Amino acid sequence: MVQANDPARPRLQVSCIQFEPIFGDVAGNVSRSCELIRAAAASGSKLVVLPELANTGYVFQSTDEAAALAEEVPTGPTSEAWGALAIELGIHIVAGITERAGDALFNSALLTGPNGPIGVYRKAHLWDRENLFFRKGDLGFPVFETSIGKLGVAICYDGWFPETFRQLALGGAEIVCVPTNWVPMPGQPEGEAAMANTLHRAAAHSNGIFIACADRIGVERSQPFEGQSLIIGPKGWTIAGPASRDRPETVTASVDLGDAARKELSTFNSVLRDRRVDVYG
Amino acid sequence: MVQANDPARPRLQVSCIQFEPIFGDVAGNVSRSCELIRAAAASGSKLVVLPELANTGYVFQSTDEAAALAEEVPTGPTSEAWGALAIELGIHIVAGITERAGDALFNSALLTGPNGPIGVYRKAHLWDRENLFFRKGDLGFPVFETSIGKLGVAICYDGWFPETFRQLALGGAEIVCVPTNWVPMPGQPEGEAAMANTLHRAAAHSNGIFIACADRIGVERSQPFEGQSLIIGPKGWTIAGPASRDRPETVTASVDLGDAARKELSTFNSVLRDRRVDVYG
């Protein structure tokens, strides 16, 4: 039942950049992220993931504050900086950005590659006070066919919904890139690993996909973040990370995205085919 | 947004019995399970979960072999033994059983209580060679309203499918009882915790439900099992266990099933309400 791997498929080095954006310092955040992307590319990475809202920081106090920092995608200065860097380095970048589209603000992530901008994803499930500032994502769960593979994107609280990864896997995603700003969960025992690590490992296993999560660190306006960025293989085992809770780190793995085509868990079982769609409501 | 807890709701002690059924020794397995159920009830447990196919063992070599050991539910001798014990002890029991129904065999779990048999669940997602012997479950994902709360049942590979727990949570389940026979997963690193623990913790968190998993131990016809039975709270944190990989153990927790009514993760967020059913395919 196991499909032959495509022998022509090269391995892909993926990096998730965990760092601390400084609230409101867009120029500084973009500049710092570009340094870190350059370092990851210099080490051989061809796909680099940045955290959620990596250009602006996260904890907005008002819609006006969010609007003042938002930019159009892919025509704003942040998109142009990351876009130019991807072209220069010949890599793909997935990065969280505060997006303005007409009158609407979105918590978005752009995908840009060696040949320029590829697309944008808008966060479907909004966390906490994001509901005051952002509109819910209106682009569904797109899967982008690129020269390195089929990429999906999810942002932070999207990962709390198994439906997110099911949609992306059924859409053919081989790897889901997750720009995120994970926060502690209710009842979290002292020192326990982030619940998000558990959620994403389960999602990778149940869908047979790679998942690459780039989280931020630091405390912003009294909101702490969880760090623990990681890259997960298609059987749900962690293949890089998790990073620390509180230090800037780049988590890197070399993967064969063709492994995401092998959904089998036993001679008789394949995780997407075995769904009982006849009995799900 | 937090709902008031029902002050009249008593706490419920739950036990998951991890033991090693001996293949084919139905009388011995039932007898041993009854001893262990008595001990759990003596310690105060009012809900006791046994492993998958706890009366027969797991590794059938042929349909004839499975058919010879299968029984009707709830009229067969195994159902009657567990049913009588539940009445005698005034408890609820969820237990895996090899079920015959007409010409069909099912990998099932019965629910029986202080007033007699309540219902049966038939495993929806069949693992590996089970596909040769058993028919796929044809009863959906029932939620049983009992005197102790709203109970769902899932069996082993059902837990690989997030849809299982979504269906049960949307159906009102407060706790899902999981009779199981977990086996090692592909690529499992030496000494790593069972993937099943990760899958069920994620499911509990994403649905705000309790999950109580009773696994078997031992090696049967060269098939090893994973043990690591556990009880998980509705925020996804483990509240009892995980048990060892290889020793008989009873894992016990005292719970307030009313906690499963509080689906909130933040002022703005509730895990079932936040689903973007408008964009799921």
Helices (H), chain B: 26-42, 63-69, 77-89, 130-133, 162-170, 195-207
Mark yes or no for CB contact B268/A137 under 8 Å.
Answer: no
Alpha-carbon distance of A19 to B81, in angstroms, equals 60
Judge: B187–A137 Cβ closer than 8 Å, yes or no: no
Q: How far is CA B18 from CA A131, B43, B45, B216, B280, in A?
A: 45, 16, 15, 5, 38
Cα three-residue angle B245-B249-B251, rounded to 5 degrees: 100
Cis geometry, peptide bond prior to residue A189 (ω within 30 degrees of 0)? no
Q: Which of B237, B262, B263 to mutate to test the interface with A (most CBs of A within 10 A)?
A: B237
Mean pLDDT over all residues of chain A? 96
Which tokens belong to B272? 């079932």
The answer to whether residue A16 scores a pLDDT higher than 50 is yes
Q: Can you read off the two tokens belonging to residue B114?
A: 């202080």
Which pLDDT belongs to residue B281? 79
Chain B neighbors of A125, CB-CB under 8 A: 274, 276
**Residue A171 to residue A144: CA distance in whole angstroms:** 10
Residue A3 has a pLDDT of 47
The Cα B278–Cα A169 span in angstroms is: 18
In the chain, the amino acid numbered A134 is F
Q: Which two tokens stand for residue A209?
A: 């996909």
Q: Which residue of A has its CA nearest to B266?
A: A128
Of A124, A162, A265, the CB nearest to B185: A265
Identify all chain B residues contacting A126, using CB atoms and an 8 Å cutoff: 268
Q: Which of A160, A201, A267 sits opposite B206 (nearest CB)?
A: A160
Q: How deeply is B113 buried, as exposed, middle or buried, from its count of CB atoms within 10 A (0-12, 13-18, 19+)?
A: buried
Query: Stretch A190-200: mean pLDDT, rounded?
Result: 95
Residue B211 and residue B196: Cα distance in Å, rounded? 12
What's chain B's average pLDDT?
96
Q: How far apart are CA A136 and CA B271, in angstroms?
A: 16
Looking at the predicted structure, is the pLDDT value of residue B148 above 70?
A: yes
- Give pLDDT, residue A85: 98
What ipTM, to 2 d.p.?
0.96
A204 band by pLDDT with thresholds 50, 70 and 90? very high
pLDDT at A198 over 80: yes
The residue among A141, A265, A272 with the most chain B CBs within 10 A of its CB, best to mutate, is A265
Strands B47-49 and B143-145 come out as unpaired
Looking at A26-30, B9-13, B246-250, which range is the least confident one? B9-13
List pLDDT tens digits, range B48-88.
999 999 999 999 999 999 999 999 999 999 999 999 999 99
* Domains defined along chain B, listed by start: 12-270 (3.60.110.10)
A246/A191 Cα distance (integer angstroms): 13
Contacts of A101 (CB under 8 A, 6+ apart): A72, A73
Contacts of A276 in chain B (CB under 8 A): 124-125, 136-137, 161, 163
| Distance separating alpha carbons of residues A155 and A8, to the nearest angstrom | 31
Q: Which residue of B has its CA nearest to A189?
A: B237
Contact A235 B186 (CB under 8 A): yes
B215-238: pLDDT as tens digits = 999 999 999 999 999 999 999 999
Residue A184 has pLDDT above 70, yes or no: yes
How much is the pLDDT for B9?
81
**Which structure tokens are listed for A11?**
């391995």
Taking the C-alpha atoms of residue B111 and residue B118, their distance in angstroms, rounded to an integer, is 5
Dump pLDDT digits (tens) for B10-51: 999 999 999 999 999 999 999 999 999 999 999 999 999 999
Question: Does B177 qualify as catalytic in the annotation?
Answer: no
